[in-house]
A and B are shown apart, each in its own frame.
Chain A
């Protein structure tokens, strides 16, 4: 199979306050077309950095190496000299901008001289600006190229879906945004001119919408408004207000009384806010007790509504008719247009259909309602599915999954892994699966790369790696995973210590450093050799020897 992604000798470093820290030290790995490649290692081994450098999102500096994706080079190095000239130009242009502003002030004192200086400054600034653009052109062109690749040909799933999704937008908007960025949206049902026209000419659309959705719920509002209108027309509003206000006051107090006394006596509950556990009313003949209980039950649950509607009706009757109409009209004029305009920004129905289709592909149940939801309304597994749907929307050739199931339950993890395997089988997408769980690797991957402390220590096909692990780190990772077949309550063979701080890395074998060995292996970089077809190992003599393993 041809290589889709090929990383050769990648070296990157992070600039820190304590000087540069090398995060990756000549990493070489490749992903073939249509295969699932697992990258395994502990936290701090450089797995995520490798993937972030690949899609150009890392904040580190690349020193050396190349990343080839589908024949294109993804890393572009700006020559040192160009960088220096660019930083000089930056200083100069800010100096000339300051000069331009000062010379404009000078024109107030000496008009002709000031204008002359301004012109000179303007010319100098423009020269700086243009030369910066020319020198910077390759970099910005590369950035544009990376933007067209990211999400389109290579996409990435992150570990925690809640932080990767925007909590303020619905699912459909977020999925459609990817499609819009890469010009893959279907043709819209309505064009924008029609949308604007609609928004302007139909200000009543919103209220129609409201009544159409739930006309039964709207009936009390319609009837109340009609009655109030009629009362105002008869010029008897004052006397009716007095009548209704008294009646309503009585009802309000009755409700309060029922609520406070009877309900609490029946439930034996003293705490007013904790009148809870809506016990069902027993079936049977209606007695006075059960009647009171029924009414007080209803009153308790609707107490706030009754109280507020009483207030609203009194206010509506109390305000003179002309003033009332003025208020209603001005509120309508002020609120309806903004709502209409926000309607204009709503997703087109054709695009919603497209998003629903994509969500169906990742087996989200009931996608028509899920597209209208916000991320917090979804469970962890569903969020990760939405994330996968978003990343698969443009049918990428390579999907980088950075610990996609670490935050999920075992059952949901099984679902997500099955989904990703199905996608690979159906669409032929290559997947780079980053994880620290060897169980996940064994279940899904075709080939495995084991990383330790910024280096690749072993690469092999998955069966070869588990049957014949060569490097001590691989053996340690396999041994320390508890499985259903291991002896219960036995001491797990754990790798002692932890990955060293990147600033303390030795030049030679870093696993020997962790095992606190001394000697030559710490000084010389071990060779990375192919010992059998497709099986590459870092040839540290001590780490290759299984008898030297010292697990805790």
Chain B
């Protein structure tokens, strides 16, 4: 993609710390550094994938982009204007979200019509017969039937619920949708249906997506650009094909090799990454991944500036001496 294209979202040195409070007057003992200095730009009309293990801060980053939680430091700009200064109504009309658990993000006592129609009513865009018509259209877009409108969430399967959640996100005709692990609770066949739906909607309406997931095969399939997160930081960011064919950072390589391949003939004994993501309360200095695998060159990375560098066009990577070969 060329640089002339419009930049929709830009994050600058984004940080989110959750204080750990204890004691009688809740004095702060430490901070969970969920997102710790992240910079990226998302162009209009692209699908930006974010991958990483649990506890890497993917979801927190997503919520920061939508201003669902306050930012500790840094800023996010939407079409040049800081989202902190935007009005709530304006922001929500342009940016929407689809959550991971489709059942948990819907009120079980509301019918599908009120679930999908609620954003329209709140924003005063439709009411009465017009609302019914509009909800019917939205349901058809996501591949359901308009007569499903009177049913309740428990009457639908997981894939259908995720379709309803998508219809709700589309109801205000936003420019940007954040998809937080939309398919990880679904079966493979339903996952394929939902992915196809997402792709066709994105193409038709030229939407901008941020796609958060821990399954790299899925992210590769749908994304234009992919960012790999580890312990609150982006360690590598590149075009989807580039990052899978030519990974630079050791963590990206480990993630790619961990994907189970549905082909028994190409089995190779791969190296399995040991241990879990360390606690983000007291992250190790320097390269966190080198610390996890206790790389011999890890001590060298402590005094190095680890902000991303561009090693190839549009391929950004953390230049640590232990995990990256440049």
Contacts and interface: CB of A to CB of B under 8 A. Distances in A.
A536 B165 CA distance: 41
A273 B19 CA distance: 11
Contacts of A480: 188-189, 191-192
B127 to A, nearest CB: 34
A491 B199 contact: yes
Contacts of A278: 28
Interface string B218-246: 10111000000000000000001100100
A437 B260 contact: yes
A411 B53 contact: yes
Given A278-B28, A415-B273, A42 B187 contact: yes
Nearest to A273: B26
A412 B53 contact: yes
A123 B238 CA distance: 85
B185 to A, nearest CB: 9
Interface stretch (A79-87, A113-121, A349-357, A378-386): A378-386
Interface string A434-454: 001111111100000000000
A503 interface: no
B189 A466 contact: no
B262 A478 contact: yes
B149 interface: no
Given A410-B258, A491-B196, A482 B24 contact: no
Contact of B221 (A438, A492, A498): A492
B276 A42 contact: no
A287 interface: no
B193 interface: yes
Given A303-B27, A304-B23, A442 B261 contact: yes
B259 interface: yes
B188 A481 contact: yes
Nearest to A308: B24
A521 B23 CA distance: 70
A418 B270 CA distance: 10
A245 interface: no
Contacts of B193: 494, 496, 552
B244 A484 contact: yes
Nearest to B158: A43
B263 A482 contact: no
Given A477-B189, A482-B217, A492-B195, A380 B28 contact: no
A487 B155 CA distance: 35
A437 B191 CA distance: 11
Nearest to B260: A439
Nearest to A405: B260
B272 A415 contact: yes
Given A273-B26, A488-B240, A481 B220 contact: no
A443 B54 contact: no
Interface in B1-53: 17, 19, 21, 23-28, 31, 53
B27 A275 contact: yes
B187 A43 contact: yes
B317 interface: no
A486 interface: yes
A187 B45 CA distance: 68
B264 A462 contact: yes
Interface string B181-208: 0000001111111011001100000000
A414 B271 CA distance: 9
B27 A300 contact: yes
A300 to B, nearest CB: 6
Nearest to A416: B272
B275 interface: yes
B250 interface: no
Given A443-B261, A466-B262, A498-B190, A415 B274 contact: yes
A161 B200 CA distance: 37
B138 interface: no
B267 interface: yes
B28 A276 contact: yes
Interface string B110-129: 00000000000000000000
A337 B265 CA distance: 65
Contacts of B258: 410-411, 413-414
Contact of A410 (B24, B216, B262): B216
B215 interface: yes
Contacts of A414: 258, 260, 270, 272-273
Interface in A255-309: 272-278, 300-301, 303-304, 307-308
Contact of B262 (A43, A301, A483, A498): A483
Contact of B263 (A42, A442, A495, A498): A442
Given A463-B264, A489-B199, A409 B25 contact: no
A200 B139 CA distance: 71
A484 B261 contact: yes
Contacts of A483: 217, 261-263
Given A409-B53, A489-B222, A442 B260 contact: yes
A482 B27 contact: no
B214 interface: yes
Contacts of A491: 196, 199-200
A489 B53 CA distance: 23
A303 B24 CA distance: 9
B157 interface: yes
Interface in B269-296: 270, 272-276
A438 B263 CA distance: 9
Looking at A436, A440, A441, A484, the one whose CB has the most chain B CB atoms below 10 A away is A484
A491 to B, nearest CB: 5
Given A274-B28, A276-B19, A484-B244, A439 B262 contact: yes
B188 A437 contact: yes
Q: Which 6 A-B pairs have the closest CB atoms?
A: A439-B260, A304-B24, A494-B192, A480-B192, A276-B28, A492-B192
18 contacts: A43-B187, A273-B21, A276-B28, A379-B54, A381-B276, A409-B54, A410-B259, A413-B258, A415-B273, A436-B187, A438-B188, A442-B260, A482-B195, A483-B262, A484-B216, A488-B220, A489-B199, A492-B196
Given A414-B273, A466-B265, 16 more contacts: A42-B189, A273-B26, A277-B28, A304-B24, A381-B276, A410-B215, A413-B260, A414-B270, A436-B187, A467-B265, A481-B192, A481-B217, A483-B217, A491-B200, A493-B192, A496-B193
